[in-house]
């Protein structure tokens, strides 16, 4: 799995194993409710709604975190660095991404 930074690993919901959460929940419902089909159906519905809400919450948190990272990276790119461009004129410092190895234009 590719990562945006070395040494980190992202875990995506699509790669998660939902049976690790679902199986114990439904086993417990089976134990608690026995053979009462109406109660079992009702609890399965409630459990499914809660699980769906958890999935939506997880997605929202992931998107918010992703947007925060993108905004921070954009701010870092726009922030001027302290070294000057070396152009020989009185100008404000250039971001390191704006520096070039190309020769300065002739006047």
Alpha helices in 1-107 (DSSP H): 19-33, 37-78
Residue 8, pLDDT score: 47
Q: What is the pLDDT along the chain (107 residues), one digit of tens a residue?
A: 444 454 445 545 455 676 787 888 888 888 988 889 999 999 999 999 999 999 999 999 999 999 999 999 999 998 877 665 555 555 556 555 555 555 666 65
Global pTM value: 0.49
Residue 67, pLDDT score: 97
Residue 63, pLDDT score: 97
Residue spans of the domains in the chain: they are 35-70
CB burial of residue 44 (10 Å; 0-12, 13-18, 19+): middle
């Amino acid at each position: 799995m590719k990562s945006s930074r070395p040494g980190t690993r992202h875990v995506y919901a699509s790669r998660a194993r939902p049976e690790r959460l679902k199986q114990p929940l439904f086993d417990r419902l089976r134990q608690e409710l026995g053979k009462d089909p109406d109660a079992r159906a009702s609890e399965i519905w409630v459990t499914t709604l809660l699980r769906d809400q958890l999935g939506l919450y997880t997605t929202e948190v992931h998107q918010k975190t992703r947007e925060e990272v993108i905004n921070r990276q954009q701010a870092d790119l726009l922030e001027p660095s302290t070294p000057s461009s070396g152009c020989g004129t009185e100008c404000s410092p250039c971001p390191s991404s704006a520096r070039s190895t190309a020769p300065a234009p002739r006047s």
